[in-house]
Every structure is written in structure tokens, then in C-alpha cells.
Amino acid sequence: MRLRSTSLLLAFGLSLTAAPALAAPPPPKSFTVVLKLRDGAERFALDVSTPGNPLYGKFLSPAEFTARYAPTADQVTRVRALLAKSGFTVGETAEGNRWISATASPARLARAASPDILAIAENTPSVVSTSDAPRSAGCSGFWGQQHQDLPAAYDRTSFPTTLCGYGADQLQTAYDLKPSLVAGRDGHGVTVAVIGVFDSPTGFKDANAHATAYGQPPFASGQYTRKLFKPFSPSAPCGGRSAWYRSQTRDVEAVHAVAPGAKVLYVGARDCAEGIDEALNWVVQNKPATIVSNSYVYRGENLPAAQIQKTHSLLVQAAAEGIGFVYASGDSGDETINGLPAQPDYPASDPLVTAVGGTSLAIDQAGRRQFETGWGTALNRVVAGAYPLPQPGTFTAGSGGGTSTLFAQPDYQRRKVPAALSRRYGSAPMRVTPDVAAVADPYTGFVMGQTVGGQFGLSTTGGTELASSLFAGILALASTDRPTPIGFANPLLYSLKAASFHDILPDRVPLGASTPDGSALVTFDRDSSLSTGYGYDAVTGLGTPDAGFVTALGS
């Protein structure tokens, strides 16, 4: 899911043929005026999140954070008066005094300046994209179940078909979650919030039907709840509702698949502009959950600094309160496929986020992980019995990642991230994403259940949106019966022994599969300019969960 940013620079229409005339003034625009947190908030957020620090785990309640670090009532009064004096139409103040909504003409916008103001952010619309692969006859329920003959490639002509998507039991076995589940570490007592827009009218029913179809327990009474910000806005600026419904359904089902005892709270924003920020702010002001799964990203980091500052300030409060935000790292590799310079996606690149990258996962008939490689799909279609392109064909999608140009390297990445990555743009080390990974390739993916057109059906889905939801569920397992929440997980994740992760390594020989109908060859681990490697890499971060990961993280 992607949030599309728009610039604060407004375009004025010019006519080359009409006689000179005064242009009509541009219509007022809505903005949020973001107020500054008080000094020390970010330092405190990092201290309480870092193992070994005397403050580790000593989180604040929302009320305590507000009293200590939030903008004061005096700040709000001063800024509201300034906005009114500057010609703004002043709206509501967000909970926790985090921002003030307002409208103004672009000309008046530039007149507002105050030491209390962190940034002025235009309310930008967003769009959603999902990563899916066709579910069709001939797909495999496990790796190697079915094969297709293709033109010769990689010294072979017979290839396993791509997967129909995995169920809960297969993923629990592959990521060695079964021992934790058998021991009762199933996420009970933990709430995972899933942030989305709108609300699927069949979401709860679909999740239970999906669980039942795969032999998993459905949600118990009160285990699935919703917080909806109604009335919902018109859906056209958000790309329609159907994609958001699909995203919600996938994320809820993925969390429940790996953490069947955890509570899931779906938070449905009223729109995909300021509504998303309102939903995030509600979470940090009320702390209904300690793990938050977010399946949307901006395309790259080239968006107004004001929006980044607004989001980052909410992440500071979340970390200070012991709330861990998990974000998808993106589905377009280094973003050059979209015509951008190589860069990671935001908010995944924020150093107060756990960014989850993606893998292609092969599970055998016994449920074991046969191989797992970085998600980077190259596709070469078969035309007239031959491949029109040299192998591996064309890059189509892959795990987002890379070196930030905005954020300096956080302390937790020191000694873990190779200098070739962190210093890619100069001598100063920078933040690199992702942090961890899970299955995301829609050609190996996850089976989700959803009602479309009145009929419940199963389909294959993927993307780092899936990976982030799965990882949020795994965090819930690790949080079971833990005396304090994990909170912002990165300092703890980077402190774990390497054996806690399955290191995703480059393929020694190319790994390929056939589409179920034999129309194309799919080659794995071809992720734009990004590559897997020993230890940390910019496709899968530290790796995927391995045996003992849940125990190590939860202890």
C-alpha cells in the first residue's frame, strides 16, 4: 500500500492564447500545523527502548508523555492566535496538542512562523497498491508438488510451478513457531493494531472463515475489535475502497495466522490523507495496542519534509510509550523501476520504525523450509516457444530497501550494517532498510480469504505488506507473558545473536519456477540494485526468524 505525496508548491494555471487577465485566486487548501515536542523526547524514547540502558522498559503512559513532552496549552494558544492573525481559518487541535488543522490560501501560508511550529504539512491524498499473483489451476501447495516444461534455462527444461500460497500451519512450521505455540506462547494478553482506511463489511466473517478453512481457531468473542473514524470520506481520492478492503483482510488474517491468541484491533481511518495521521495519533494518545502493523509506504523519501516531521514526532511518542510500529519496506526494490533515484521508502526508513523486507519462501511437503531467498522477481515470458529476453528477464517487484538520504545511522545499526551500505552516499553513515524480513513474494505468498461480489473465496497475496503483518504477529508471540512490552523493537533485534535469524544468502545457482500455465519463467532473488549477502543486507536486513527467535526476543 502506498501513500502518494504531493508538493507544497502549488501550480497556477497559465493561458498562452487568452488575453492577459487576472487569474482567479487558488482555492484555500487544508493544512495541519505540527507543534514541536519539548526537548528530550526522542532521547527518552531511545533510552527506554535500548537493552542495557537504566531506563530500558520504563515506558510512559500517554498522560505521562503529554505532561512531560507534548506541546503545552500555552503553545497551542499562541499558535492558534498567530494563525488567526495570519489569515488562516483555524480548525480543531488534535488530541495531545500534536497539531492544529487549518485552511488558508497558499500566499497566506508563508506568513506563519513561530518557534512553536515544527512544520506545516499539506493534507496529501494516498493510494493503495497490493502485491498479488494469480491463483490458478496448476499452482503448487508446496514446493515441487507440480512442474511445467519450459524452454531451456539454467541448464534445465522442467521447473516447479509457483505456489498457491501458504496456510497458517505451513508458516508456523517453517518459521519454527510451533514450539512456542505448543508451550502456550500464542500472543494471549497482547493486542496488535492494524492501521487501514475504511472498513471491509465482511472483514470479521472472512477472517473466521479463512481460519476455519485452514484448521485454525477462529477469533473468540471480543478478540477482534474495530475503531472506525466515521464518516468515511469519498473513496475516489484513495483509489477506491476495494484495495483497502483487501489490505485490511490480508493483514488481519496474517496476524491471526501466526499469533492465534493475540487480540487484533483494526483502526479504520476516515480517509487516506489527514485521516491516516488521525488514526496513528489516536493509537499513541490512547495506547490500545503495543504492536502496530502498517502496510502503506510513500514512494521513496522525496516527500515534503513537513509530512516526515509530523510522522516522526508520532513515532517518538510511540517508542516512549512502549508501542512498536512495524512498517512494510515497499514492493519496488530500490524504486528505480518507478523512475526514481535508488532510495528506500518512508516511513520504513525512519529510524524509529521496524522495517520489514521480503523473501521468497519454498516449503516442502513436510512443512520444512527448503530454501528462502531474497524477494526480487524477474519475469521472462515465453513467446513462440522461446524467451524474448536474456535471462533473467525483467524485474517486476521486490523487497524495498536501501540507504536513506534523510536519516543518520542509528546507534543500533552500528557494527551490524556494512559500511558499503551505510556510507553509500559519503563519509557519514546513514540509516539502511529493511531491519528484518518474512515471506512476501506473491509467487510463494499467503492464501487469504475474502468475500467479493457476495462470494467467499481464496486467493494468493504477498508483498512486504504481508511480511510486516506476519512479523507483527511474531512479535506478539514473543510478547506473550513478557513483564513489559517489547516496544520499539530495533535495539533489541540488533542485539540478538546471529543464530536467532535465518541469514538469507545469495543463490549459488539461479532459482527459477514456472507460472502455473507455463507462460513465463520466474527467477528469484533479482531485486533491482539490491542484493542479499552474508549478515545484514538491504533486501532482508538481519534475516527471517529462525529456531529460538521468539524465545530470545521474549526473554
**Measured between alpha carbons, how far is 29 from 107 in angstroms, rounded to an integer?**
11
Average pLDDT over residues 273-278: 89
Q: Report how far residue 39's alpha carbon sits from residue 157's, in angstroms, rounded to the nearest whole number.
A: 64
* Cβ-based neighbour number of residue 215 at 10 Å: 9
- Which amino acid, 186? D
Regarding whether 319 and 467 lie in a shared domain, the answer is yes
Instruction: Give the range of the structural domain holding residue 86, as residue numbers without chain letter.
Output: 26-122
If asked whether residues 274 and 409 sit together in one domain, one would say yes
The dihedral region occupied by 167, where left means phi > 0, alpha psi between -120 and 50, and beta the remainder, is beta
| pLDDT beyond 70 at 271 | yes
Angstrom distance (rounded) from CA 262 to CA 284: 19
Residue predicted with more confidence, 16 or 250: 250
CA 291 and chain centroid, separation? 13
Residues 281 and 416 reside in one and the same domain: yes
Is pLDDT above 70 for 530? yes
Q: Which residue has the higher pLDDT, 273 or 162?
A: 162
Arithmetic mean of pLDDT, 396-420: 97
Indicate if 204 and 304 belong to the same structural domain.
yes
Question: Measuring CA to CA, which residue among 289, 276, 274, 369 is closest to residue 324?
Answer: 289
Q: Check pLDDT > 80 for residue 2.
A: no
Give the residue-averaged pLDDT of 543-550: 94
Evaluate if residue 7 carries a pLDDT over 60. no
Q: Which pairing describes strands 376-381 and 394-398: parallel, antiparallel, or unpaired?
A: antiparallel
Residue 453 counted as domain residue: yes
* Same-domain check for residues 33 and 172: no
Q: Are 319 and 47 in contact (CB under 8 A)?
A: no
Average pLDDT, the chain: 90
pLDDT band at 160 (very low <50, low <70, confident <90, very high): very high
Residue 425, number of CB atoms within 10 A of its CB: 12
pLDDT confidence of residue 27 = 65
Q: Residues 231, 287: one domain?
A: yes
The rounded distance, in Å, linking the Cα atoms of 471 and 550 is 11
Are 45 and 175 in the same domain?
A: no
Same domain, 472 and 342: yes
With contact defined as beta carbons under 8 Å apart, do 66 and 97 qualify?
A: yes
Does 376 map to a domain? no
Q: What is the enclosing helix (H) or strand (E) of 172?
A: helix 168-174
From its phi and psi, is residue 384 left (phi > 0), alpha (psi between -120 and 50) or beta? left
Closest to 212 in 3D by CA, of 277, 260, 280, 155: 260
- In terms of phi and psi (left: phi > 0; alpha: psi -120 to 50; beta: otherwise), the region of 389 is beta
Rounded Cα distance between 239 and 273, Å, is: 12
Q: Is the pLDDT of residue 393 over 60?
A: yes
Q: Quick one: 177 and 57 in the same domain?
A: no
Would you say residue 181 lies in a domain? yes
| pLDDT digit string, tens, across residues 69-127 | 999 999 999 999 988 988 889 999 999 999 999 887 766 665 566 666 656 666 554 44
Q: What is the mean pLDDT of residues 433-439?
A: 98
Residue 492 has pLDDT above 70, yes or no: yes
Exposure of 314 in the CB half-sphere (CA atoms within 13 A): 25
Phi, psi angle pair for 517, to nearest 5°: -95, 5
Buried b (16+ CB within 10 A) or exposed e, 460-492: bbbbbbbbbbbbbbbbbbbbbebeebbbbbbbb
Angle between the 203-213 and 242-258 helix axes, to the nearest 10 degrees?
Answer: 40
Q: 500 pLDDT band (50/70/90 cuts)?
A: very high
Radius of gyration of the chain (CA): 24
The total number of structural domains in the chain stands at 2
Is residue 39 included in any domain, yes or no? yes
- φ/ψ (deg, to 5) at 497: -65, 150
Residue 100 and residue 76 in contact, taking contact as beta carbons nearer than 8 Å: yes
- Of 352, 31, 328, the residue nearest 194 (C-alpha): 328
> Within 10 A of 370 (CB to CB), how many other CB atoms are there?
14
Among 493, 516, 541, give the residue marking a domain's end.
493
Asked whether residue 18 is assigned to any structural domain, the reply reads: no
* Amino acid, res. 533: G
Judgement on whether residues 77 and 176 belong to the same structural domain of the protein: no
Provide the pLDDT for residue 3: 45
Residue range 20-43, pLDDT digits in tens: 334 445 567 788 889 999 999 999
Residue 237 has what pLDDT? Answer: 77
Q: Is 255 part of a structural domain of the chain?
A: yes
Could you say which of 98, 122, 146 is where a domain stops? 122
* Residue 229 sits in the same domain as residue 303: yes
**DSSP summary character for residue 102:** E
Task: Starting at the earlier edge strand, list the strands of the sheet with 446-452.
Answer: 131-132, 455-462, 446-452
Distances (CA, A) of 262 to 284, 328, 444: 19, 20, 25
Among residues 122, 145, 175, the one where a domain terminates is 122
Residue 35 lies in a domain: yes
Query: How confident is residue 11, by pLDDT bands cut at 50, 70 and 90?
Result: very low
Residue 447 has pLDDT above 60, yes or no: yes
User: Sorting pLDDT into bands at 50, 70 and 90, what band is 16?
Assistant: very low
Pair 325, 452 in one domain: yes
Looking at residue 105, its pLDDT comes to: 75
pLDDT digits (tens, 9 = 90+) for 119-151: 666 655 444 445 666 566 678 999 999 999 999
CATH at 405 = 3.40.50.200
Strands 501-502 and 544-545 come out as antiparallel
Stated as kind and residue range, the H or E segment containing 354 is strand 354-363
Phi, psi of 436 (to 5 degrees): -145, -175
Average pLDDT of 430-440? 98
What pLDDT, on a 0 to 100 scale, did the predictor assign at position 168? Answer: 97
522 part of a folded domain: no
